[in-house]
Amino acid sequence: MAPNVTIPEFQATQLDVIPAIASNARGTFRTHKTKSLKWRLVQLRKLYWAVEDYKNELVAALQKDLHKSEFESLLSEVDWVKNDCLFAIAHLETWAKDEKLGAPVVPATFSLMKFRIRKEPLGTALIIGPYNYPVQLVLVPLIGAISAGCTAVVKPSELAPSCAMVLKELVEKRLDANAYVVVNGGVPETTALMEEKWDKIFFTGSAQVGSIIARKAAETLTPVCLELGGKNPAFITKNANLKIAARRLMWGKTFNSGQVCMSQNYILIDRDSVPAFIEYLKEAYAEMFPNGAKASPDLARIVNPRHFARIKKMLDETKGKIVMGGQMDESELYIEPTAVLVSSTDDSMMREESFGPIFAIYPVHSLDQALNVANSVHRTPLALFSFGSKAENQRVLNEMTSGGATLNDAYFHGSVNTVPFGGVGDSGWGVSRGKASFDCFTHARTIAETPTWADALLRVRYMPYDWGRLKL
């Protein structure tokens, strides 16, 4: 049951005020106040309490936008952000401290000089978020920006409009509004933001839009961190525990109704294990949804009719056989957790990222074949999962790359929010979370300091290069 709170109607930021918003955030950075560690810690504490105080509004907005259950909203959005805040508060002093460099990094011949790495904020950041985790996927990068001492403009997804409105109030009322601002809107507003000069752009979303952002950023040589999607494979070998694999992969596709960048798109499974695996999937389904998935208060809905139609089209066009689920109801944007047995990489279920509660099962006769198929579908997915013996899992890791990987489970490597997370190749550039988020918005500036009294020792470097002159 969603808390009874009022959430304002979605309102996009006016396009003509966007340049002034960006310029103000840049101006605030130039006051240098955000560089003070004390100031950053105050902002992080304010963010923690803002998320706590707006908990009911966030839960209600997530229910409205995605039909997310309170449990998922707290676990993967509200508490997730609060934990990241606490982690940053606890470690910021250590992260931000100058790193003193000595031997062996500094060779003995340079031992008269002092070397250190100063951790400097990059400046003013633009953070653009997707709709599936509309709260945490903008606030977690914001924690990184605040920790690093940057100012930032946040652009949440317009496809989660209630969350976007709560985020605007939460950030601008509780944090320093000259340093942290939310711009709401879709393509026109993001395009206007991209006309401004930023010191870092942190984008989470689809590869298609990621490439638009990267191209535009390249015009001004602005660094970007891209957290993108991928067609993630799961491998199930002869030696896997099929019951565990079925239950864990069902979790991966039912959490947020599969609208998770890391969830498996397709499963490559030993041919002989297919019948038993399908039975275990059905068993897991029955355990999770004793009254059917549609009646479950826990299952989120598809975000909007456009994405519903996109997922439906994948099911309409498949040449495969639906072996679990298959029901849908457009009026509720409901899609049942669905498994489709396919036999070709050209199948609609294999070609695209489903980003919904549907997935393909592709039988293979060997791990060799599984690795060939996966590498041909998407060479650099965001995640992969391997259920097999130790040696088989190791082989999968060796012979296929991915942003991250989990062995014998669905996306657990991305569930600990303080370890680095990111894609590889076209599933993302750069990592974030925990210290990685701090580093993402930080410039590691090497400083060398030469004592003036050492000039006699250093004079070998001056012209003319006359080695005969070398008398110390």
Catalytically annotated residues: 227, 261
CB of 186 to ligand NAD, least distance (A): 5
**Residue from 13, 24, 147, 190 binding ligand NAD (CB under 6 A):** 190
Stretch that binds ligand NAD, among 1-9, 70-78, 128-136, 318-326 (CB under 6 A): 128-136
- Tokens of residue 349, six digits: 């279920």
The answer to whether 144 contacts ligand NAD (rule: CB under 6 A) is no
Contact 60, 5 (CB under 8 A): yes
Stretch that binds ligand NAD, among 21-29, 49-57, 187-195, 273-281 (CB under 6 A): 187-195
**Residue from 128, 167, 302, 440 binding ligand NAD (CB under 6 A):** 128
The answer to whether 264 contacts ligand NAD (rule: CB under 6 A) is no
Q: Residue 1, CB half-sphere, CA atoms under 13 Å: how many?
A: 2
Stretch that binds ligand NAD, among 114-122, 202-210, 249-257, 280-288 (CB under 6 A): 202-210
- Tokens of residue 117, six digits: 């790495």
CA–CA distance, 472 with 460 (Å, rounded to integer): 9
> Which amino acid appears at position 430 of this protein?
G
CA–CA distance, 263 with 233 (Å, rounded to integer): 9
Binding string to ligand NAD for residues 30 to 49, with x set by CB under 6 A, is what?
Answer: --------------------
Contacts of 406 (CB under 8 A, 6+ apart): 383, 385, 412, 413
β partners of residue 269: 236, 363
The answer to whether 434 contacts ligand NAD (rule: CB under 6 A) is no
Q: Closest CB to ligand NAD among 117 and 207?
A: 207
The answer to whether 13 contacts ligand NAD (rule: CB under 6 A) is no
Q: Closest CB to ligand NAD among 131 and 277?
A: 131
State yes or no: cis peptide before 107, omega within 30 of 0.
no
Dihedral sign computed on CA atoms, order 205, 149, 430, 358: negative
Q: Could you give the C-alpha distances from 15 to 21, 132, 439, in angstroms and in order? A: 10, 25, 31
CB-count burial class (<10 Å; 0-12, 13-18, 19+) for 465: exposed
> Which amino acid appears at position 437 of this protein?
S
3-class secondary-structure state, position 107? coil
The answer to whether 141 contacts ligand NAD (rule: CB under 6 A) is no
Binding string to ligand NAD for residues 203 to 222, with x set by CB under 6 A, is what?
Answer: -xxx--x--x----------
Kindly report the backbone phi and psi dihedral angles of residue 334, in degrees, each rounded to the nearest multiple of 5, phi listed first: -95, 130
**Residue from 121, 123, 129, 337 binding ligand NAD (CB under 6 A):** 129
CB of 129 to ligand NAD, least distance (A): 5
Nearest residue to ligand NAD on Cβ basis:
229
Contact 308, 302 (CB under 8 A): yes
Site for ligand NAD in 394-433 (CB under 6 A): 423, 428
Residues 366-387 as b or e (16 or more Cβ within 10 Å = b): ebeebbbbbeebbebbbbbbbb
Binding string to ligand NAD for residues 332 to 371, with x set by CB under 6 A, is what?
Answer: ---------------------x-x----------------
The answer to whether 241 contacts ligand NAD (rule: CB under 6 A) is no
- Tokens of residue 93, six digits: 């002093």
Residue ranges binding ligand NAD (CB under 6 A):
128-132, 137, 155, 157-159, 186-187, 190-191, 204-206, 209, 212, 227-229, 261, 353, 355, 382, 423, 428
